Amino acid sequence: MEMEKKIKLLQGMYAGALADSVLRMGREGILEKVTAEKRAEQFISGKMRAAQLGITKPQEVFEVLPEIFGCANWKTTDSDHGFKAEATGCMLCSLAKRMGAQSPCNIYCLDPMEAMVNGIDENATYTVFETLWEGQKCQVEVSIK
């Protein structure tokens, strides 16, 4: 099997495993608790995680992670005070919806990304305006002070 096909297969299997975990945590009624605990942990390790991935600027979070995980199709545009990031498709969100799971957006995407952004620049403001779970796109704005 070609390397690119292997990577796509692994990305799909990984997204499926994450969707399955959200389904099971939701069924057990612990998704919100686990999400909150993971969020706290991610903010402690956000700087280290970004460094492990070679991410040195907040905007790179939305460029590097799609390359690695192949999940959401994030695109960034510069703004007056930072940048905006939008995704119109997400494999994890789509899989979770098809499985009847709850939203995976915070536990596996938005919170870890915010933690890395803040790990790189603790003064950055990270605002989520819309998600593919509830809307037509994921829309995040990062303001850099």
Under DSSP, the state recorded for 108 is: I
Question: pLDDT exceeding 90 applies to what percent of the chain?
Answer: 97
pLDDT value of residue 1:
82
Q: Is the pTM of this model over 0.85?
A: yes
Q: How confident is the model at residue 87 (pLDDT cuts 50, 70, 90)?
A: very high
Give me the residue spans of the domains in the chain. Answer: 3-143
Cα dist from 46 to 11, 20, 56, whole Å? 22, 24, 12
Residue 145: per-residue pLDDT: 81
Question: How far is residue 112's CA from residue 23's CA, in Å, rounded to a whole number?
Answer: 19
What percentage of the chain has pLDDT greater than the value 70?
Answer: 100
Over range 92-105, report the average pLDDT. 97
Question: What does pLDDT average to over the chain?
Answer: 96
The pLDDT tens digits of the residues spanning 17-28 come to: 999 999 999 999
CB 102 within 8 A of CB 130: no
As its CATH architecture, domain 3-143 has 2-Layer Sandwich (3.30)
Q: Report d(CA 135, CA 17) in Å as an integer.
A: 23
Q: Residue 75 CB: number of other CB atoms within 10 A?
A: 14
Spatial strand order of the sheet with 138-143 comes to: 75-79, 82-87, 138-143, 125-130
Task: Give the contacts of 106 (CB within 8 A, at least 6 positions apart).
Answer: 35, 39
